[in-house]
Amino acid sequence: MILDLDKYLPQRHYGDIEAKGFYDVVNTEDDVWCLCTITEDDQVLLFHDYPEYDNVEVYDADDNKTYIIPPRVGSLIDGARYWYKIGRSGGKLSVHNCQTYDKPLIEKIWPKCIIPASCWEDTYIQSKVQWFDRPCPKGAKSAHGLKAYGIKFGNKKPDIEDWTIMDAYKLHRIVEDCKIQKMTALFLDKEAETFKTKFGMDFTKAINEVEKPYATIAFEQELRGAKVDVEHINKCVAWLDIETERLSSYIEPSLPPTLKNKTGRVGRNEMALLLLGRDDVADIIDTYTGEVVKPYYKPSTNFHRIEKQKYYSGFHISYGDSPSFKKKNELTTWIKDTHPDTKSKEWDIGFEEKETPLLNKNTCEYFGVEETETDIISGPHTRIEWNITKLTQHEKVKGYLIKSGIKWAEVWNIKKVDGYPARAEEDTIIYYPPKAHPSMQITYEVKKGENLVSSPKFGDKEYEQLGDDAEMGKDIAKYNTYMHRRRFFSNVKDPENKGVLAYVREDGRVPCGLGNFLTSTGRSNQRVIVNLPSESSLYGKEMREAIIADEGKILVGCDQKSSQLSIGAFIANNQDYYNAVATGVEFENTEDGSQVYLGTSAHCVNARNFGLVSQEEWTKAVSSQDEGLIHSIALRRKKSKGPSFGVN
C-alpha cells in the first residue's frame, strides 16, 4: 500500500532520529540509521535505507513480546526532505531534546534542510520549565528523560548497548520512542493547560522565546568550546604535584593520627550476646530507615586456641605423688634422679589428658606476646590501628583545626538529600565534628524551615583564630586549593575521563558544556570549565592562562555585578535598593589599610529588610565598630542570600 504522505504534512508529528552516537560522532548520512514520526492518527512513518528489515519480527526482552517492524515509507534522504516539508507546510515536529540533538544533527548532515524554529517542539525543555522538581520514577536517571516518561506510561524504552551497527532492533527502538514521545507531548500539553486554567501560569513564552533559543546558544557554545594551552597545563600539573607533596610532607606528621577500627560494628543485642551471653537486650532502631543502629565496634571474644596434652604422673606408696610431665620418659628420669632407691615399676604410673588455653597466632602477632601470656591478654577487646592522617581526610583536619583554636565559622556547607537542600523540621543545633567531645566542637544554629548544614568552610577569618598556628591553617587551605586546581586540570584518580586535559579535542579546544534550565529556579549548569578563579586569588593567574585565544585574537573577560539583584530592584522600581546593589559595600578600606564596617551592600540591606538584623543593631555596629556584633551580623547576613535570590 502506497501512502499519501502529503496529507500528513500539516499535522503534529511525534518524531525521533537514531544514529551511531552523539552529535560529535555523527558526520555523514552513513552515520544516521533512521528517521521516524507518528502522526496524530497513529500512522508510523519510518524512513531508512535498509529495506531488508521491512516486516521483520524482533523480540523485546523488556516486555517479553515480539514486534513486526513496519515497512519503510521512504529512504533516509526522503525522510530528511519530508521533515523539511513538514516545517514548510505549517506542521509540527514534537521531538524530545530536539534543540540540542535532532535539529542541529539535521542541519549538520543536510545543511540545506533548515526547518523553521517555530516547527520544532522540545518536550525535554517543556518538562523542565513546567515542573523541574517532578518525581523521578525508579529505573530512570532523570525525571525529564524520555525513559522516565516511558516508565510512567508503562512503555519502557528498549535498551540498546551498541549504536555503532544497524539492525532491525534499532527500528523497533525508534518506533517505541515515537510512541512514548506522543504520550509525553500530550501529557505535558494537558499539564500546561491545567497550570494555565487553574493557576494562570502560561509557560509558552518562557519555553519558545527564552529556553529554546538559549538551549541553541548553549549547544553552539559547547561545540565551539575554548582553546587551551596544553603545554602550560602540563607545567602547572607538574608544579602543583611538587608543591602539594611539599605541603603534605610537613603538615601531615603534625596532625594527630587517625584511629582505625579493624572490625565491623554491632548493635546492642549482638554486643550483649558477645560479652554477656544474653540475647534479651533490645536493639535501637533508626526511626527513619528502620535499620538497627550499630554504635559499637565488634569485640574479639575468641582469641584462644585450645591445646590438648597428656600429662604423666606416678604414685609411690612411700613417696606419694610425683609432679606431672608432658612425656613419660621425663617422668622416669625424674624418678631415677629423685628416688634412686626405687625402680620405675614400683611406681603406679598413669596419664591425664588436659586442655590448656593458649593465645592464637593472630593475637600473638597483633600484640607481640607469647602464646602462654594469657594473663596479659585476658578479656574481650577491639583491635585498632593508628594511621597517619592525610590532608584529604577533611573531617579529621577540620577537627584538628577546631581543637587548635577555631571557635566559629562564618560559612557552612548546605546539607543535601537527593541533590536538594535539606530543611530543618524544628529548631536545631548542628555540632561539628559530630563525634568529637563537646569541648572540641563548633556549632551552628538552624531555625525551623532553614537549610540544614553539614560542615564548616574555613577561610582567612577562621584561620586568624588559630593565633600562632595560623600559618599552618593557611597552608592547609593552600593545599586544598592547589589540589582543587590540580583536579581541574587533570584528576589523578581518573585522568582519562576527568579534568580539562581529558576533554582536549584534536582542534586543541575543550567543550564548554552549558545545560539550560537545570535547577528548579531555571539556572544553567556548566560542564568541564565551570568558572575560573580571579587573577588575584591563589594560583588564579596560572588557571586563567590555561585558556588562550587563536592567533590574531584576544580574550575578553566580562562579568555582571549582582545582576539578579539589580534586575529585581529595577523591576520593583526601588531606587534605594538599586543604589545598595550598585554602590553599597559591607566594609570600606581606609588609608591605613584597616577596614570600617558600613553594612550598606545589597545583602546587608536585605538582612535588615527580612528581619534578620534590626536597624538598632546595624546603627550600633556602624557607630561602635564592635567586632563581636559585626561578626554576629555577618553570620545573619549570609542567611539573607537565600531569600534575596528567592524573592528575585
Q: What is the pLDDT of residues 279-337, one digit of tens each?
A: 999 999 887 778 899 989 999 888 999 988 889 999 999 999 999 998 999 999 999 99
The pLDDT value recorded for residue 397 is: 92
Whether the bond into 433 is cis, omega within 30 of 0? yes
Answer whether residue 431 shows pLDDT above 80.
yes
Assign residue 470 a region (left: φ > 0; alpha: ψ between -120 and 50; beta: otherwise): alpha
Q: What is the pLDDT of residue 645?
A: 52
The residue among 497 and 580 whose pLDDT is bigger is 497
Q: Is the pLDDT of residue 588 over 70?
A: yes
pLDDT of residue 560: 67
Confidence (pLDDT) at 26: 95
pLDDT, mean of residues 466-475? 83
Largest Cα separation within the chain, whole Å, is 130
pLDDT of residue 497: 85
3-state DSSP percent of the chain in helix, strand and coil, to 5:
40, 20, 40
CB-count burial class (<10 Å; 0-12, 13-18, 19+) for 509: middle
Residue 56 has pLDDT above 80, yes or no: yes
On the question of pLDDT at 463 being above 60, the answer is yes
Average pLDDT (501-521) is 89
Q: What is the pLDDT of residue 647?
A: 52
Classified as helix, coil or strand, 455 is strand
Q: All 3 cell numbers of residue 284?
A: 535501637
Confidence of residue 2 (pLDDT cuts 50, 70, 90): low
Residues in the chain: 648
What span, in angstroms and rounded, lies between the C-alpha atoms of 168 and 359?
68
Dist. CA 130–CA 184, nearest whole Å: 13
Which of 62-71, 188-197, 464-473, 543-552 is predicted with the least confidence, judged by mean pLDDT?
464-473
Report the sign of the C-alpha dihedral through residues 341, 343, 348, 354, in that order.
Answer: positive
User: Residue 34: is its pLDDT beyond 90?
Assistant: yes
Distance of CA 38 to the CA centre of its chain: 38
pLDDT at 644: 56
Q: What is the pLDDT of residues 211-253, one digit of tens each?
A: 999 999 999 999 999 999 999 999 999 999 999 999 999 999 9
Residue-level pLDDT at 260? 85
Strands 509-510 and 65-68, sheet pairing: unpaired
pTM of model > 0.75: no
Which segments of 69-181 are extended strands (E)? 92-95, 120-122
| pLDDT above 90 coverage of the chain, percent | 60
How many angstroms separate the first and last alpha carbons of the chain?
59
Residues 279, 266: contact at Cβ < 8 Å?
no
The Cα–Cα gap between 404 and 210 comes to: 52
pLDDT at 592 over 90: no
Domain limits, CATH 3.30.420.10, in the chain: 5-222
Q: Which long-range contacts (CB under 8 A, 24 or more apart) does 229-235 make?
A: 229/545, 229/546, 229/547, 229/548, 230/501, 230/504, 230/508, 232/542, 232/545, 232/546, 233/489, 233/490, 233/500, 233/501, 233/546, 234/501
The phi-psi region of residue 464 (left if phi > 0; otherwise alpha if psi is between -120 and 50; otherwise beta) is: alpha
C-alpha cell at 329: 620418659
Residue-wise pLDDT tens digits, 332-366: 999 999 999 999 889 999 999 888 899 999 999 99
CATH class of the domain at 5-222: alpha beta
Cα–Cα distance for residue pair 579/605, rounded to 1 Å: 11
The pLDDT confidence band at residue 441, using thresholds 50, 70 and 90, is very high
pLDDT at 646 over 60: no
- At 384, is the pLDDT very low, low, confident or very high (cuts 50, 70, 90)? confident
Q: Is residue 638 helix, strand or coil?
A: helix
> How high does pLDDT run on average in the chain?
90
In this prediction, residue 109 carries a pLDDT of 97
How far apart CA 514 and CA 525 sit, in angstroms, is 6
Average pLDDT over residues 23-36: 95
Q: What is the pLDDT of residue 125?
A: 97
Q: Stretch 398-406: mean pLDDT, rounded?
A: 90
Copy the grid coordinates of residue 543. Answer: 588557571
Q: What is the spatial distance between Cα 163 and Cα 32, in angstroms, rounded to a whole number?
A: 10
